[in-house]
């Protein structure tokens, strides 16, 4: 190589990384300045712990079962709260929802030749029909899988089928364990009724042995007669299994008066910080306002709602002015089939709006550990610029993922999903049971979720997707 050529060659290799990095990063994002502002915002957030205040307000009406008077009160309360916080365009968008009532009676009595009567802790599964008013009584068949149900199909007729399938404790990811056990709750009644069962008892979905039944949605197959379906507390499932070994002919008397009611009108509640440059481009922060009726649903999902509102408040309070709109949507009816999410995506009021990113917070109020984003490697790369900032508030990783019942319809329309992932090892301890009380959520932990959500949503409102 000639000497002058060598000089150019060396210069090229010295400057090309600079040229390349300038070309790749055409945004005006000043990471250091943002980190400084985030620190100030987060210090105030952790000092004030407003997310927990919002949680208390939103959970005030108690169990907010879709279509119930308590859910209607929660809609009004959430609207007032967003108005007080000074969000833009606070409004309710009406949604027609199904209504189901638990009723006053939920009793299961074990009758055995060998023991006196014992009552079991049960609760009706959401959507279940009741029993005849005098109750129904039958022998019990314990089943451990759908395969086993097929195998014993001749023995099912006239029995109460008892699905005793624990969540797999060897699974480190609680949602994976839940996912494998939940089909027995959702579809067990129709699977058993196909062979003539008269009712089902389904072991509650929690890793813990406790005395509290955990409810949840069940769905009937329209082709198969409907039978009552109840959840049984895990400690009682163990007990019943033991009693069945001692007396295979023991009988259970089941009495429930749950029922379907005519549909009613309810609403999603919206509020936003309107974007200054591209108001029609939306970063959505979603959570569900409805809950099950056995508790105030603190983790599921008053926590998610509180975090979404606090993220908006933090952005506003910090004086950050989003280029694109950041909108909180508190959806109605996640638990009973997601009508709120479907309505939102299909609503004519979406008009010219373009949803860039939809983040759903519905994994409880635990401390944040990770961030998930859909849409491919480029978006993850973009978010990775925040890594050093987010790690201050618990985020250990950023991975592909995201989704949820409420934002599912938006994702189908091409919106990119996201989520701040909290620690969830204790989530199913409370899930859908009387244990999901305010005391099961820690003020600092949900505040950290809100801080992360504020950082991520503001960053994408400035940088786009």
Active site residues: 334
Q: Are strands 368-373 and 397-400 parallel, antiparallel or unpaired?
A: parallel
Distances 12 to 19, 26, 210, 433 between C-alpha atoms, Å: 10, 21, 68, 65
* Binding status of residue 300 toward Zn ion by CB under 5 A: yes
Using the rule CB under 5 A, give the single segment among 34-42, 167-175, 297-305, 364-372 that binds Zn ion.
297-305
Task: Give the three-state DSSP class for 246.
Answer: helix
Using the rule CB under 5 A, give the single segment among 5-13, 43-51, 247-255, 298-306 that binds Zn ion.
298-306
Residues contacting Zn ion: total by CB under 5 A: 3
Q: Tell the smallest beta-carbon distance from residue 65 to Zn ion (Å).
A: 13
Given strand 118-120, what is the order of strands in its sheet? 118-120, 106-111, 251-256, 136-143, 160-163, 199-203, 229-232, 122-124
Residue 415 gets which letter from DSSP?
P
Q: Which of 88, 281, 290, 301 binds Zn ion (CB under 5 A)?
A: 301
Residue 260 gets which letter from DSSP?
E
Sites for Zn ion among residues 349-368 (CB under 5 A) = 362
Q: Tell the smallest beta-carbon distance from residue 450 to Zn ion (Å).
A: 17
Sites for Zn ion among residues 82-141 (CB under 5 A) = none
Please state, as a whole number, how many other Cβ atoms lie within 10 Å of the Cβ of residue 408. 16
Looking at the Cβ atoms of 281 and 333, the one nearer to Zn ion is 333
* Beta carbons within 8 Å of 29's beta carbon, 6+ residues apart: 385, 459, 462, 463
CA-to-CA distance for 124 and 113, rounded, in angstroms?
Answer: 27
Task: Give the three-state DSSP class for 420.
Answer: strand
Looking at the Cβ atoms of 226 and 426, the one nearer to Zn ion is 426
Binding string, residues 153-192; x marks residues near Zn ion by CB under 5 A: ----------------------------------------
Residue 177 gets which letter from DSSP?
H
Task: Give the three-state DSSP class for 97.
Answer: strand
Q: Tell the smallest beta-carbon distance from residue 213 to Zn ion (Å).
A: 18
CA-to-CA distance for 427 and 142, rounded, in angstroms?
Answer: 27
Q: Tell the smallest beta-carbon distance from residue 299 to Zn ion (Å).
A: 8
Looking at the Cβ atoms of 106 and 362, the one nearer to Zn ion is 362
Q: Tell the smallest beta-carbon distance from residue 301 to Zn ion (Å).
A: 4
Under 8 Å between Cβ of 422 and 368: yes
* Beta carbons within 8 Å of 25's beta carbon, 6+ residues apart: none
Task: Give the three-state DSSP class for 350.
Answer: helix
Report which of 229, 256, 249, 231 is spatially closest to residue 141, judged by C-alpha positions.
Answer: 249
Q: Tell the smallest beta-carbon distance from residue 290 to Zn ion (Å).
A: 9
CA-to-CA distance for 181 and 179, rounded, in angstroms?
Answer: 6
Using the rule CB under 5 A, give the single segment among 9-17, 42-50, 300-308, 429-437 that binds Zn ion.
300-308
Q: Tell the smallest beta-carbon distance from residue 287 to Zn ion (Å).
A: 8
Looking at the Cβ atoms of 142 and 436, the one nearer to Zn ion is 436
Q: Tell the smallest beta-carbon distance from residue 449 to Zn ion (Å).
A: 14
Looking at the Cβ atoms of 281 and 301, the one nearer to Zn ion is 301
Looking at the Cβ atoms of 301 and 310, the one nearer to Zn ion is 301
Q: Tell the smallest beta-carbon distance from residue 66 to Zn ion (Å).
A: 12
CA-to-CA distance for 227 and 235, rounded, in angstroms?
Answer: 24
Looking at the Cβ atoms of 189 and 405, the one nearer to Zn ion is 405
Report which of 153, 457, 174 is spatially closest to residue 326, judged by C-alpha positions.
Answer: 457
Report which of 104, 150, 124 is spatially closest to residue 204, judged by C-alpha positions.
Answer: 124
Dihedral angle over CA of 208, 211, 189, 111, nearest 10: 130
Looking at the Cβ atoms of 301 and 436, the one nearer to Zn ion is 301
CA-to-CA distance for 436 and 206, rounded, in angstroms?
Answer: 12
CA-to-CA distance for 329 and 247, rounded, in angstroms?
Answer: 53
Looking at the Cβ atoms of 363 and 457, the one nearer to Zn ion is 363
* Binding status of residue 281 toward Zn ion by CB under 5 A: no
* Binding status of residue 406 toward Zn ion by CB under 5 A: no
- Residues within the interface to Zn ion (CB under 5 A): 300-301, 362
């Amino acid at each position: 190589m000639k000497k002058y050529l060598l000089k150019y060659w060396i210069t090229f290799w010295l400057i090309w990384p600079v040229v390349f990095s300038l070309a790749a990063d055409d945004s005006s994002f000043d990471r250091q300045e943002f980190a400084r502002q985030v620190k100030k915002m987060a210090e105030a957030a952790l000092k004030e712990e407003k997310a927990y205040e919002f949680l208390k307000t939103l959970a005030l009406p108690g169990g907010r079962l879709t279509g119930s008077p308590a859910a209607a009160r929660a809609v009004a309360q959430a609207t007032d709260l967003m108005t007080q916080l000074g969000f833009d365009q606070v409004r309710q968008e009406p949604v027609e929802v199904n209504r189901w009532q638990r009723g006053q009676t939920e009793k299961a009595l074990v009758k055995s030749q060998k023991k006196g009567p014992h009552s079991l802790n049960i609760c009706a599964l959401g959507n279940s029909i009741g029993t005849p008013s005098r109750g129904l009584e039958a022998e019990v068949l314990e089943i451990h899988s759908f395969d086993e149900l097929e195998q014993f199909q001749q023995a099912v007729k006239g029995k109460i089928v008892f699905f005793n399938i624990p969540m797999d404790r060897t699974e480190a990811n609680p949602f994976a364990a839940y996912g494998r056990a939940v089909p027995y709750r959702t579809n067990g009644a129709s699977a058993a009724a196909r062979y003539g069962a008269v009712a089902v008892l389904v072991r509650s979905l929690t890793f813990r042995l406790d005395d509290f039944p955990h409810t949840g949605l069940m769905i009937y197959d329209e082709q198969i007669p409907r039978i009552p379906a109840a959840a049984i507390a895990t400690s009682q499932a163990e007990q019943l299994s033991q009693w069945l070994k001692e007396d295979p002919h023991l009988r259970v008397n089941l009495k429930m008066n749950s029922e379907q009611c005519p549909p009613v009108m309810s609403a999603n509640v919206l509020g936003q910080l309107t974007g200054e440059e591209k108001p029609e481009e939306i970063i959505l922060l979603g959570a569900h306002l409805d809950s099950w009726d056995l508790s105030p649903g603190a983790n599921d999902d008053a926590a998610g709602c509180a975090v979404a509102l606090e993220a908006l408040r933090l952005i506003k309070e910090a004086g950050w002015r989003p280029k694109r709109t950041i909108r909180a949507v508190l959806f109605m009816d996640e638990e009973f089939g997601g009508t709120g999410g479907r309505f939102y995506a299909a609503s004519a009021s979406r008009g010219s709006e373009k949803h860039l990113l939809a983040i759903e917070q519905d994994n409880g109020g635990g401390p944040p550990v990770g961030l998930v984003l859909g849409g491919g490697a480029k978006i993850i790369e973009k978010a990775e610029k925040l890594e050093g900032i987010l790690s201050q508030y618990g985020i250990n990783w950023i991975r592909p993922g995201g989704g949820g019942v409420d934002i599912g319809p938006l994702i189908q329309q091409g919106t990119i999903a996201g989520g701040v992932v909290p620690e969830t090892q204790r989530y199913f301890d409370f899930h859908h049971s009387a244990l999901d009380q305010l005391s099961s959520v820690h003020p600092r932990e949900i505040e950290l979720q809100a801080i992360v959500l504020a950082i991520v949503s503001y960053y994408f409102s400035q940088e786009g997707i």
